[in-house]
Amino acid sequence: MDPIANMLTQLRNATLIGQRTVTVSHSRIKQQIAKLLESHDFLKAVTSTKTETGHSELVLELLYTNDAPAIRSIRRLSTPGLRRYRKASDLPKPRGGFGIVVVSTPQGLMTTDQARRAHTGGEIICEVLS
């Protein structure tokens, strides 16, 4: 099971049915991806909570403008079975130019634009289009 793909699928399904919040199990990489999406105005808020059993969860509030979700499309690019690594000069741009591609670099998670400016490559995690 791929926990990142599960989170992205939950976000995709929530936007399709008009759900306002999504709750996912907590992990450091999921929180970093969510914070990156929040900073680029795809999510309204990201909060961490504890369940009654003591497990941590992330509550993701989706951003809607005029009842249209900010996330039009979200997909996993690198999977556990097929990792996709690119050097800085070969990092992809989002399809259509409206969105971000998240890349995991030695300096942490960032968009491909930030990675190009930092002259660093890494693993291409996902693509989010608005």
Inform me whether the pLDDT recorded for 94 exceeds 90: no
Residue-wise pLDDT for 31-47, tens only, equals 999 999 999 999 999 99
Does pTM top 0.75 for this prediction? yes
Domain ranges, ordered by start, for the chain:
3-129
In angstroms, rounded to a whole number, what is the distance separating the alpha carbons of residues 34 and 46? 7
For residue 128, which of 59, 48, 24, 39 has the smallest C-alpha distance? 39
The continuous run of DSSP H or E covering 18 comes out as none
In angstroms, rounded to a whole number, what is the distance separating the alpha carbons of residues 87 and 43? 28
Residue 95: which pLDDT band, with cuts at 50, 70 and 90?
confident
Map tokens 């809607």 to a residue: 64
Residue-wise pLDDT for 47-57, tens only, equals 999 999 999 99
What is the CATH topology of the domain spanning 3-129? Answer: Dna Ligase; domain 1 (3.30.1490)
